[in-house]
Amino acid sequence: MSQTTNSPSLAAPKRLVIASRESRLAMWQAEHVRDCLKKLYPDCDVQILGMTTRGDQILDKALSKVGGKGLFVKELETALEDGRADLAVHSLKDVPMVMPEGFDLSCVMAREDARDAFVSNDYASLEDLPKGAIVGTSSLRRESVLRAKLPHLEIHPLRGNLDTRMGKLDRGEYQAIILAAAGLKRLGLESRIRAYLPYDPYTPAAGQGALGIETLSKHPNIKQWLAPLNDLPTLFSVSAERMVSRQLGGSCEVPLAAHAVWDQSQMQIRSFVASVDGKAICIANGNAQVRSIEDAEALGLVVAKDLLAQGAADLIPKIAK
């Protein structure tokens, strides 16, 4: 993944098929990748293969209860294996921390706004919500911080694609909902954002706001063709975040947050592991010079060790210690 220039000896691709989920956000992301590839390789025929995943079908349960991450990527991986597609585009947040055998996270593209957003028709911010107001989120991470900071609020589950979630808010099922700002901005719904939640304490999930492209390990050419799409600051940041998450079991069955920023070789990272009720929390911050993916992962490891030293493992159901 560290390669960011195209090998001059490799001929341009003739045809590339992108596997994508069919939600509006997933299609936006696939079209974005298609447009970038068309710019790089004007003579290449770039197609999008849309498909429904189990994560899109099961809408009545919290993600953490139905298999979590991986749920949105499995069908796309099958399309790669079967040769129906060459690359799969994912929200990086949904990509498992440990890639399955035979698959690589080949490319990480520039990050959108990584923050969580407050969306409401009647209130301007979380702080304005009255006692008993219903806030929609199915993220255990968001729920944990909300319960700790604003215990007078009611947290109710909220699943489905972005349009479904907005519809539920607009029908009055919730007084407010919390969503990733990235998805809203990509779909032109930025004007619905009433407030941005600060990174402290509302730290995002590892990879939030970034796009990841997955390919088969046995097709190194495709990885090389994608290399120019990598964004170095994002790649460094998410490498650190994903290392923290990986060390802590990498599931979404536990409130786990990790967010890093990289600028001019300096990286800062904030991470927490908490209980869903918000009563217990381990927080670790890191700061280091980072000039490579290895440096970024090393910082992620330090932060993970800090969390574990504070007893984070006790908050995680099935972590292999």
Catalytic residues: 94
Contact letters for ligand PBG, residues 41-80 (x by CB under 6 A): ----------------------------------------
Q: Please identify, using beta-carbon distances, which residue of 180 and 281 lies nearer to ligand PBG.
A: 180
Contact letters for ligand PBG, residues 77-116 (x by CB under 6 A): --------------x-xx----------------------
DSSP string for 112-128: ---SEEEE-SS-SSGGG
Alpha carbons 97 and 132: distance in angstroms, whole number: 36
Is residue 295 close enough to count as binding ligand PBG by CB under 6 A?
A: no
Is residue 243 close enough to count as binding ligand PBG by CB under 6 A?
A: no
How many residues lie near ligand PBG (CB under 6 A)?
9
Question: What are the phi and psi torsion angles at 52 (to 5°)?
Answer: -95, 135
Contact letters for ligand PBG, residues 180-199 (x by CB under 6 A): x-xx----------------
Q: Which residues contact 305 (CB under 8 A, 6 or more apart)?
A: 247
- Helices and strands, counts by H and E, the chain: 9, 13
DSSP, res 151: T
In the complex, the smallest distance separating the C-beta of residue 40 from ligand PBG, rounded to whole angstroms, is 22
Is residue 208 close enough to count as binding ligand PBG by CB under 6 A?
A: yes
In the complex, the smallest distance separating the C-beta of residue 93 from ligand PBG, rounded to whole angstroms, is 5
Residue 89: name the closest of 18, 37, 152 by CA. Answer: 18
Three-state secondary structure call for residue 77 = helix
Q: In what side-by-side order are the strands of the sheet with 281-289?
A: 256-263, 266-274, 281-289
In the complex, the smallest distance separating the C-beta of residue 207 from ligand PBG, rounded to whole angstroms, is 7
Q: Would you tell me which residues interact with ligand PBG (CB under 6 A)? A: 91, 93-94, 179-180, 182-183, 208-209
